[in-house]
Amino acid sequence: MLNFNVEDSVLWSDDALLVVNKPSGLTTLPDGYDPEAPHLRAVLEPVFGRLWIVHRLDRGTSGVILMARSAQTHRILNTMFAERRVKKIYHALVTGEPPWTEKATRVTLLPDGDRKHRTLVDLQKGKPARTDFRVLERYGRYSLVEAHLHTGRRHQIRVHLMIEGYPIVADSLYGSEKGIYLSELKPNYQLNTSEEKPLLGRLGLHAWSVALEHPITQNPLYIEAPYPKEFRIAVNQCRKYC
């Protein structure tokens, strides 16, 4: 079981809506290949009661996720997502340094397109997908990139960054399993143990923020999810030594 403090993860809570900062390594719903593995709803429902899932994050992705606390809120949020009235921003640590500052990527995607269950580019069977990217910080070997989703295809950000030639760090499906190591960043680094552990060894993708009208009150709601420890350390070390 992940070391996951439920109370510390809460970003917003009222009678209609629960918003939490999901840790990397936890699925949103039960895993079809490992139904006994812990998942987000099973961890949260004993504390908050019944929850309705509105959208998902990949197991390796951390960050902000919305859940409805009533059937009415669930229906409203589903409509808002379908009408693209929910704005989601992601931050990704990618390999390489894009020459552009901003870029809109539009490529048709086909989810679950091969035996590895990857999302593939398919101009005939795929569905339109658009992601707007903006480079936030450059570190030479790596970069911190913001991604604004206009559509919600499975693995969309991961595939679009791979297509652009800047795959997300530690993305074994669309790039390489390799994470970020301090020895790559710090000049004259000397390892004190037999094996160096990565600063960031999991998928370098974090759901940073969500903006929407509250489904019941209709008041504007903007919520940010702080970086988890390993993501924050990797970014800080990249800033320090690059």
Is 34 among the catalytic positions? no
Read out DSSP for 108-158?
-EESS-STT---EE-TTT-B--EEEEEEEEE-SSEEEEEEEESS--TTHHH
> Is 67:51 a contact under the CB 8 Å cutoff?
yes
Distance CA 224, CA 64 (A): 7
Determine if residue 102 is left, alpha or beta; phi over 0 gives left, psi from -120 to 50 gives alpha, anything else beta: beta
Question: 205 and 5 in contact (C-beta within 8 Å)?
Answer: no
**Strand 87-95 and strand 62-68: pairing?**
unpaired
Which of these is catalytic: 14, 15, 31, 58? 58
When computed from its CA atoms, the radius of gyration of the chain, rounded to whole angstroms, is: 18
CA–CA distance, 199 with 194 (Å, rounded to integer): 16
Write the CB contacts of 55 (distance below 8 Å, at least 6 apart in sequence): 65, 66, 81, 152
One-letter identity of residue 205: L
Answer yes or no: are the C-beta atoms of 28 and 37 closer than 8 Å.
Answer: no
Residues catalogued as catalytic: 58
